Chain A
Amino acid sequence: MKERKSVKFNLQQQQQQHHHQNGHLSPFKFAKLLDPEASWDKDQLGDVLHWIRQVVALVCGLLWGTIPLVGGIWIIVFLVISSGIIYGYYAMILKIDEEDFGGHGALLQEGLFVSIMLFLLAWILVYSLAHF
């Protein structure tokens, strides 16, 4: 009886740990971000790539707006830079095999649309506030 109880308790603990891993509250180790040996699961990698894209979008948007860069070509420049950073990050720093995660397409489109929107928003806002 006691054994059963402890097994149950263990299971609960495991579930809790599992839950923590999935939630954003998990103790996230920044060292892992640069570690080529670390093992990644699909969700974690997706989240990390998503946030990197958002940060790049925000930085580019603010930068483009302050300089100010004008013209549609800069949207494409942003896309190239952002995708290049993402590709360089997972292929060169993490050195993961993209086939395990659904190919280049799946990794590169992670957070892509939202980051374009965020980039446009930052660019337009800074541009119209700072230069008019």
Chain B
Amino acid sequence: MATAFLSNFNYSDSLTVVGISVCTAIVCEAISWVLIYRTTSYKSLKSSIDKASKKLETMKTDSNPSKLSLKKSKTKKIDRVESSLKESSRDLSLFKFKSGAVVALVLFVVFGLLNSLFEGKAVAKLPFVPARIVQKMSHRGLQGDDPTDCSMAFLYFLCSISIRTNLQKFLGFSPPRGAAGAGLFPIPDPKSN
């Protein structure tokens, strides 16, 4: 019945792409949960980052410039908290790297699967004419030159960003804001080693 309902639409493939991408997002989060989020070392790392960034914020806001002698010790303290924060965020991103590899593999396989299913097929119609750079993606592998045809790659890209990020946020898995500065590949600090 579902297929009969779906075949009413010209672009029912787009729903398939979205559905697959929702499932993938859930599977990826499940993998990350098993590999990272349920471990105690992750929890302690996260709470220490949260604490340190809060502490840093309060220390920076209520600085009192009138007490000169206190100021020096304070900057020292701030430096110490800052470096410990940096260290923990680096640990966190290293920690995430492990599951990141597995998740990337899953995404890659799913993308390959979708590619073989919908190759050269317009899965949706764009209501606007995208810029030329975006067209490279939205018109990838499609015949004809109607710029409003949308390939699977573009739709999958939109889905994977919007659905996955919101799912992470909803589940509370998004990285702590204090660690936002730490990128995927942290620059190793020679002092700490």
A contacts, CB < 8 Å to B: 19, 22-25, 42-43, 46-47, 50, 54, 64-65, 68-72, 74-75, 113-114, 117-118, 120-121, 123-125, 127-129, 131-132
Contact = CB atoms under 8 A, between A and B. Distances in A.
Contacts of B150: 124, 128
**Central interface residue in B9, B50, B57, B126, by most chain A CB within 10 Å:** B126
Q: Which 4 A-B pairs have the closest CB atoms?
A: A118-B162, A128-B11, A117-B162, A128-B124
23 contacts: A19-B47, A22-B50, A24-B171, A24-B172, A25-B172, A42-B177, A43-B177, A46-B177, A65-B127, A70-B127, A71-B127, A114-B166, A120-B158, A121-B18, A124-B14, A124-B125, A125-B124, A127-B124, A127-B126, A127-B127, A128-B11, A129-B12, A129-B15
A129 B14 contact: yes
B159 A50 contact: no
A127 to B, nearest CB: 4
B47 to A, nearest CB: 7
Categorize the interface residue count of chain B.
20 to 34
Nearest to B130: A72
Interface of B: 9-12, 14-15, 18, 47, 50, 57, 124-130, 150, 155, 158-159, 161-162, 165-166, 169-172, 177
Q: At the interface, is chain B mostly helix, strand, loop or mixed? A: helix
A117 B134 CA distance: 13
Contact of A129 (B11, B130, B165, B172): B11
A72 B131 CA distance: 9
B124 A114 contact: no
Contacts, number: 78
Nearest to A46: B177
B128 A75 contact: yes
A81 to B, nearest CB: 16
A97 to B, nearest CB: 12
Given A129-B11, A129-B15, A69 B127 contact: yes
Given A117-B158, A120-B158, A54 B127 contact: no
B128 A132 contact: no
Given A72-B128, A114-B165, A124-B124, A132 B10 contact: yes
Nearest to A116: B162
Contacts of A120: 158
Nearest to A122: B162
Contacts of A19: 47
Contacts of A132: 9-11, 125
A117 B171 CA distance: 19
Contacts of B47: 19
A121 B138 CA distance: 13
A131 B125 CA distance: 9
